[in-house]
Amino acid sequence: MNQKVSTNHLTVLSIIVILLVSSYINWLPIPIVDAQEKNSEAEITVEATVNRAFHYDQHGLLELEIDNDSDLEIVEIEADLTELGSTERLSISPELNRVTLSVRSDIEPGEKKIPINVVDENGGTYTTTAAATIIAREKTNDDRDWDEAVIYFMVTDRFADGDPKNNDPYGINYDEIDDNPRGAYQGGDFKGITDNLDYLAELGINTIWITPIVENVGHDVEFNSDAGAYYGYHGYWAKDFETLNPHLGSLEDFHELIDQAAARDIDIMVDVVLNHIGYGLKINDEQSEPPAGFPTNEDRNRFVDMIRDRSGAGDLKMELSGLPDFKTEEDWVREQIVAWQTAWLEKSTTPSGNSISSYRVDTVKHVDHVTWQHFKNELVAIDPNFKLIGEAWGANYQDDLGYHKTGTMDSLLDFGFKDHARHFVNGSLEEVNNQLIVRNQSISNIATLGQFLGSHDEAGFLHNLIESGDSEEVAQGKLKLAATLQITAKGQPVIYYGEELGQTGAENWPEYDNRYDFAWDMIEGNPILDHYQKLLEFRQAYSELLARADRSTLAGSNNAEWLVVERTYDDQSVYLGFNRADFEQEITLTVSNADVIVIDHYADQTYQATEDQAGNYVISLTAPKLTDGGTLLLTAENGTILSNQDNANSAETETSDSITKEPIENQSENANITIWPFIILISLTIAVITFIQIKRKK
């Protein structure tokens, strides 16, 4: 009986000890058994290399060599890019075995490890590690990084007509159209942009985004309806991806634009479409009596077997607006489309060596991730500096729709920002500023956002304000304040052409008043333009800071109708003031000492600190009323501007809470690490003592 009890006791104690040890081992954050050893019976080996050293404004290519002598299919590849300041689980397509790498600007140069995990169809895993060499960015005062881009988006056909000889290359007689003449080409071209580069340089932009440059279907797509004429003037209905749209000019004209822009330190960004082609290009679209400019059989044969017979389900296989949809999930289709688009890097390269620098990518949601990874890879193989900003409809700082840090898009258009701006100018100063503080934290040089107020696909910001009941004067004041918010925010400001003049319009198909001709006669003496020029001069002067700085609230409130915020980066600060009141406001701010001088770059005013009755050093300045811009652009010398007491206490409490919370969590983890060995040791001790006692009883 005693022997049986003793045996049972020992069995129970042994089980407890085994469970405790197992739990401790399973709790550890690293695997005890190497994955490759675990699956050593499979005849699969993995090697990985990075093709080049690169800095934070460039890219490298991670390339995998998978030697697979088994019958097992590779179904998943992941890379841990933590040491590059990116995601710890980058998914790499097994169809490609290659992906583009980026590194965050605050990562120190040196060799970085990239652990890689490959999984076969049975769940077997195989690991390897690649080394990426990150080099220092040798940046001069004339250099500019991708996240410092200030983008000017124009519908090229509507900006400026520099060469009337290319206005009607198909002999359509656009000038005779009387049923919706706004649906026809208006004459804008490459030469028109070149002739007006000085205007854009003086405005303060550094990147021009032009609509697609390839040849489009030439016919009136509404020829069978009474809706009015409508042509592919916008460029999104391609007919031939290898040829320039003759309405825009020749390759020599394009090269001249690129060279002249480069001479003014302006980059050219081209809009591209990989999702669809133009109407009339399905194999059965032949017409017995085609309208002028209708695609030919030769045009249709160019895309045989590349497009779907009919619209499918979901974003990836639907025919967007009834446009023929590419079967990009088929590898040969993907490779052909990518080859057509990447060829423009070489074609656009001028005899002087200048070229296009980036693509704005249309309809990102409607193309699969494998295609986007392949596209980015092929571009980077040609130019390691090449960038992509994607139009993933609805993307914002809270939801990148799965495109940031994926080896695809370097930036996304921020579809939420215009709503933030609208709420801000309508009175929600504090709420929106708090949202922008959070937005800042989601943005980096490898995953940034392009904030815009209007575009060719949406009604103008100013138009919406007037439609909601604001007078033209008040609406223009709100546009100015919204522009201040946009241009001084972290991210890439995207200015829609003519917006800086106060042009605007409805998104009313088929006229599209938001696709107006640029109003060259509105430039002289335009107060909205003056406002934009001041903002962009300030943005240029503090370019890196405004692209990367933190954001915090210093003073003001919704009730006061003004707000002052601080943007801080690398021990340097600028201060931004916003006044939405319909009158000037005297604002008093506390500064750090008696020697502080504050400069308002908007009003070109300088303020010297004075001492108030309470013994604080302050500056008092005047914020212009809303209709006069409502803007302060401040810097401080010999010290800093301080937050008001309420905000300081609030910030101190929040900081204290955050500082306390994090160590508690870490202490908990450390406690687990420390306590587990003691629990096991105590359990073993109890087991030994119990065993000895049992032996004595025997």
Q: Is residue 514 part of a domain?
A: no
Q: Is residue 668 part of a domain?
A: yes
Q: Are residues 234 and 373 in the same domain?
A: yes
For residue 590, the domain's CATH number is 2.60.40.1180
Query: 394 CB contacts (<8 Å, ≥6 apart)?
Result: 401, 415
The DSSP annotation for 18-49 comes to HHHHHHHHHHSSS-SS-HHHHTTTS-EEEEEE
Band (pLDDT 50/70/90 cuts) for residue 171 is very high
Residue 432 inside a domain? The answer is no
Query: What's the DSSP call for residue 174?
Result: G
What is the C-alpha to C-alpha distance for residues 259 and 443, in angstroms, rounded to an integer? 32
Tell me, yes or no, whether 186 and 84 share the same domain: no
C-alpha 590, offset from chain centre = 36
Radius of gyration of the chain (CA): 31
Please say if the pLDDT value at position 610 is more than 60: yes
**What amino acid occupies position 183?**
G
Asked which of 602, 618, 644 is the last residue of a domain, the reply is 644
Do both 170 and 93 map to the same domain?
no
Secondary structure (H, E, C), 504-556: CCCCCCCCCCCCCCCCHHHCCCCHHHHHHHHHHHHHHHCHHHHHHCEEEEEEE
Using a pLDDT cut of 70, give the percent of the chain over it: 86
Give the pLDDT band of residue 656 (cuts 50, 70, 90). Answer: very low
Residue 522 domain-assigned (yes or no): no
Question: What's the number of domains the chain is made of?
Answer: 4
The structure tokens listed for 400 are 């990148």
- Residue 455, SS3 per DSSP: strand
Over residues 65-71, mean pLDDT: 94
* pLDDT score for 22: 47
pLDDT band at 647 (very low <50, low <70, confident <90, very high): very low
Instruction: Give the domain-ending residue among 349, 366, 391.
Output: 391
CATH of the domain at 232: 3.20.20.80
Distances (CA, A) of 490 to 35, 187, 221, 486, 500: 42, 36, 41, 8, 20
Q: Is 31 exposed, middle or buried (0-12, 13-18, 19+ CB in 10 A)?
A: exposed
Please name which of 136, 74, 83 lies closest in space to residue 113, comparing C-alpha atoms: 83
Kindly indicate the confidence band of residue 693, based on its pLDDT and cuts at 50, 70 and 90.
low
> What is the structure's pLDDT at 553?
98
Give CA separation, 341 vs 240, 273, 338, 366, in Å: 11, 9, 5, 17
pLDDT, tens only, 490-515: 999 999 999 999 999 999 999 999 99
Which residues, including other chains, have CB under 8 Å from residue 269's CB and lie 6 or more apart? 151, 207, 208, 209, 210, 356, 357, 358, 359, 360, 389
Mean pLDDT, residues 460-467 taken together: 98
User: What is the pLDDT at residue 9?
Assistant: 54
The percentage of the chain sitting over the pLDDT mark of 90, rounded to a whole number, equals 85
Distance separating alpha carbons of residues 130 and 112, to the nearest angstrom: 8
**Same domain (yes/no): 242, 369:** yes
Query: 203-262 pLDDT, tens per residue?
Result: 999 999 999 999 999 999 999 999 999 999 999 999 999 999 999 999 999 999 999 999
54-77: string of b/e by CB count within 10 Å (b at 16+)?
bbbbbbbbbbbebebeeebebeeb
* Tens of pLDDT, residues 466-477: 999 999 999 999
How far, in Å, are 66, 257, 282 from residue 389 at the CA level?
Answer: 31, 21, 29
Please say whether the beta carbons of 361 and 272 come within 8 A.
Answer: yes
pLDDT in tens, 627-646: 999 999 999 999 999 998 54
Distance of CA 33 to the CA centre of its chain: 40
Closest C-alpha to 400, from 428, 441, 442, 432 = 442
Res. 686 pLDDT band, cuts 50 70 90 = low
Single residue among 134, 163, 189 that ends a domain in this structure? 134
Co-location of 22 and 71 in the same domain: no
pLDDT of 8 reads: 52
**CATH number of the domain to which 50 belongs:** 2.60.40.10
Provide the domain limits for residue 120. Answer: 36-134
Asked if residue 295 and residue 206 are part of one domain, the reply reads: yes
| Mean pLDDT to the nearest integer, 444-465 | 98
Whether 27 and 91 share a structural domain: no
pLDDT of residue 111: 98
- pLDDT computed for residue 141 by the predictor: 85
- Output the average pLDDT for the chain: 90
Q: Taking residues 333-351, what's their average pLDDT?
A: 98
Q: Rounded to whole angstroms, how far apart are CA atoms 64 and 94?
A: 10
171, two tokens: 């002999």
pLDDT in tens, 515-565: 999 999 999 999 999 999 999 999 999 999 999 999 999 999 999 999 999
Q: How far apart are CA 372 and CA 355, in angstroms?
A: 22
187 domain residue, yes or no: yes
What is the rounded (10 degree) CA torsion for 33, 39, 44, 49? -10
Q: What residues contact 538, with CB distance under 8 A and at least 6 apart?
A: 487, 488, 574, 601, 602, 633
Mean local confidence (pLDDT), 148-168 = 98
pLDDT for residue 358 is more than 50: yes
499: Cβ–Cβ under 8 A, 6 or more apart, which residues? Answer: 453, 454, 460, 461, 462, 479, 483
Q: How far apart are the first and last CA of the chain?
A: 11
- In tens, the pLDDT along 281-310 reads 999 999 999 999 999 999 999 999 999 999
Q: Report whether pLDDT(20) > 70.
A: no
Residue 482: pLDDT band (50, 70, 90) is very high
User: Are residue 48 and residue 19 in the same domain, yes or no?
Assistant: no
- Is the residue at 85 inside a domain? yes
Higher pLDDT: 515 or 671? It is: 515
Quick check: is 251 in a domain? yes
Do 169 and 281 fall into the same domain? yes
Query: What digits encode the pLDDT tens for the residues 186-202?
Result: 999 999 999 999 999 99
637 and 612 in a single domain? The answer is yes
At 409, is the pLDDT very low, low, confident or very high (cuts 50, 70, 90)?
A: very high
Model confidence band, residue 131 (pLDDT cutoffs 50, 70, 90):
very high
User: What whole-number distance in Å separates Cα of residue 23 and Cα of residue 56?
Assistant: 42
* Dihedral sign (CA 373, 376, 378, 384): negative
* 3-state class (DSSP) for residue 224: coil
Q: What is the mean pLDDT of residues 614-622?
A: 97
pLDDT for 142: 85
20, 95: one domain: no
Helix (H, G, I), strand (E, B) or coil at 85: coil
Q: What is the mean pLDDT of residues 453-467?
A: 98
Q: Are residues 189 and 85 in the same domain?
A: no
**Rounded mean pLDDT of 116-131?**
96
Grouping H, G, I as helix, E, B as strand and the rest as coil, residue 279 is coil
Reference 251, options 616, 259, 543; nearest CA is: 259
Residue 628 domain flag? yes
